[in-house]
């Protein structure tokens, strides 16, 4: 059977809590069956509200949500077939791990035999087969979150919602859990709607990412497209690190434009979101696309002064004053140890105009 590309569908969904301010604005989002989609955005941008509406704990003010083609407004949460893992959606503390997982199955009236089988399968999926008789308090934070993941999956839901499920874990554990959840998704193919404000988490885990700001989806694309081709300066700033220059378009052709910076100097850039001369632009350049001692043929070459040098283990971060931008960041791999990376030194920097994305200032 063909994959359903509209397995979950937000259709013109608005949400207001107070009847005045919309915290979700005209959301149109199709989620494919089996997809891992992440809602990424700053705090307060409306991500949790979207999950709550999909789960059935909040109602859209306007619009409708569809699950497998059917409107779900009138279906109560427990009948939607949706599993959930939230940062603060704790395990039942007075129940063993086994009982925690059995609970959603008992509610759904599975037989004792089926419950045993499903609990065993779900526990082995998160590598906790021997932990069924433990109490949650006897588990580490990471183990508790794995039980929470298993509990969300144990009844074979059509969709699993995860809202910042790794937020309380320390960095190393968070990263290993990201891979673990990603692998579980790959092996069982359930549709996952994931929420995070952590861009590297979103890039690591997702098939597609919807970037939220101020209740609106700014961009919906694959992680690599989001990183390489941000559609506006909000997305460019939010995803990954970014050097920016402000100026005005003074010349433009199909694949190249000239931007006169406020400092008076001109740079060449890739006209992504500018169309004509005279427009204001913010030019965005990833730190790793700026090169020291550029070849002669590179179309942007400038001199900058080193303002700060910070050792980062695998690379050194160098902050430059370049073309009037005192926050210009450069990442130098530590394999290429250089003697001239010192505070106060002047170095030559270059980049290809293709990598410098001229965006609109909004």
Give the nearest distance from C-beta 206 to ligand ADP in angstroms: 16
What's the CA gap between 320 and 174, in Å, rounded? 32
Of 48, 178, 219, 284, the one binding Mg ion by CB under 5 A: 48
Give the nearest distance from C-beta 52 to Mg ion in angstroms: 9
Give the nearest distance from C-beta 84 to ligand ADP in angstroms: 14
Give the nearest distance from C-beta 359 to Mg ion in angstroms: 27
Q: Are strands 300-311 and 291-292 parallel, antiparallel or unpaired?
A: unpaired
- Would you count residue 17 as binding ligand ADP (CB under 6 A)? yes
Interface segment toward ligand ADP; rule CB under 6 A; list 36-44, 109-117, 131-139, 227-235? 36-44
Find, among 240, 230, 267, 252, the residue nearest to 362 by Cα.
230
List the Cα angle 303/308/310 in 5-degree steps: 125
Give the nearest distance from C-beta 208 to ligand ADP in angstroms: 18
Question: Which is nearer to ligand ADP, 46 or 350 (by Cβ)?
Answer: 46
Q: Please state, in angstroms and as integers, the Cα–Cα distance from residue 360 to each residue in 229, 247, 283, following that order.
A: 13, 10, 8
Question: Which is nearer to ligand ADP, 46 or 240 (by Cβ)?
Answer: 46
**Alpha-helical segments (H) within the chain:** 47-55, 97-107, 112-125, 141-153, 171-188, 199-205, 223-228, 233-238
Site size toward ligand ADP (CB under 6 A) is 10
Question: Which is nearer to Mg ion, 163 or 180 (by Cβ)?
Answer: 163
Compute the 3-state secondary structure of the chain and give helix, strand, coil in percent, each to the nearest 5: 25, 35, 40
- Please report, as residue ranges, which positions from 77 to 136 form the binding site for ligand ADP (by CB under 6 A): none
CB under 8 A, 24+ apart: contacts of 123-126: 123/97, 123/150, 125/150, 125/153, 125/184, 125/187, 125/188, 126/150, 126/180, 126/184
60 binds, among ligand ADP, Mg ion, none (CB under 5 to 8 A by kind): none
**Residue span 39-68 as binding mask against ligand ADP, x where in contact by CB under 6 A, dash where not:** --x-xxxxxxx-------------------
Strand order in the sheet with 8-16: 22-31, 8-16, 62-67, 70-71
Q: Please state, in angstroms and as integers, the Cα–Cα distance from residue 107 to each residue in 17, 94, 104, 252, following that order.
A: 31, 17, 5, 64
23 binds, among ligand ADP, Mg ion, none (CB under 5 to 8 A by kind): ligand ADP
Give the nearest distance from C-beta 44 to ligand ADP in angstroms: 4
Give the nearest distance from C-beta 24 to ligand ADP in angstroms: 7
What's the CA gap between 11 and 254, in Å, rounded? 35
Question: Which is nearer to Mg ion, 35 or 164 (by Cβ)?
Answer: 164
Question: Which is nearer to ligand ADP, 57 or 92 (by Cβ)?
Answer: 57
Question: Which is nearer to Mg ion, 48 or 270 (by Cβ)?
Answer: 48
**The residue count for the chain:** 362
Chain contacts with ligand ADP (rule: CB under 6 A): 17, 23, 41, 43-49
What is the contact surface with Mg ion in residues (CB under 5 A)? 48
């Amino acid at each position: 059977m063909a994959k359903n590309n509209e397995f979950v569908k937000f259709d013109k969904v608005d949400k207001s809590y107070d009847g005045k301010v919309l915290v979700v604005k005209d959301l149109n989002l199709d989620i494919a069956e089996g997809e891992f989609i992440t809602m990424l955005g700053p705090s307060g941008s409306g991500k949790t509200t979207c999950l709550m509406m999909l789960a059935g704990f909040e109602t859209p003010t306007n619009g409708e949500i569809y699950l497998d083609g059917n409107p779900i407004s009138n279906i109560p949460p427990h009948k939607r077939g949706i599993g959930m893992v939230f940062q603060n959606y704790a395990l039942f503390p007075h129940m063993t791990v086994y009982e925690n997982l059995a609970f959603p199955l008992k509610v759904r009236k599975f037989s004792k035999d089926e419950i045993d089988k499903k609990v065993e399968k779900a526990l082995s999926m998160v590598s906790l087969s021997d932990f069924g008789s433990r109490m949650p308090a006897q588990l580490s934070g990471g183990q508790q979150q794995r039980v929470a993941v298993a509990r969300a999956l144990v009844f074979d839901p059509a969709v699993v919602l995860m809202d910042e499920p790794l937020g309380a874990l320390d960095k190393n554990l968070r990263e290993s859990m990201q891979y673990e959840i990603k692998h579980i998704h790959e092996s069982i193919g359930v549709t996952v709607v994931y929420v995070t404000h952590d861009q590297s988490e979103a890039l690591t885990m997702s098939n597609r990412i919807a970037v939220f700001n101020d209740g609106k989806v700014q961009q919906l694309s694959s992680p690599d497209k989001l990183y390489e081709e941000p559609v506006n300066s909000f997305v460019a700033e939010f995803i990954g690190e970014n050097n920016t220059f402000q100026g005005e378009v003074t010349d433009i052709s199909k694949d190249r434009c000239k931007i006169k910076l406020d400092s008076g100097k001109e740079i060449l850039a890739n006209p992504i979101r500018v169309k004509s001369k005279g427009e204001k632009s913010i030019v965005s350049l990833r730190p790793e696309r700026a090169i020291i001692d550029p070849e002669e043929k590179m179309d942007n070459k400038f001199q900058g002064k080193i303002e700060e040098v910070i050792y980062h283990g695998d690379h050194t971060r160098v902050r430059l004053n370049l073309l009037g931008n005192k926050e210009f960041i450069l990442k130098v791999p530590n394999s290429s140890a250089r003697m001239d990376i010192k505070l106060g030194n002047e170095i030559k920097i270059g980049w290809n105009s293709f990598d410098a994305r001229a965006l609109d200032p909004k």
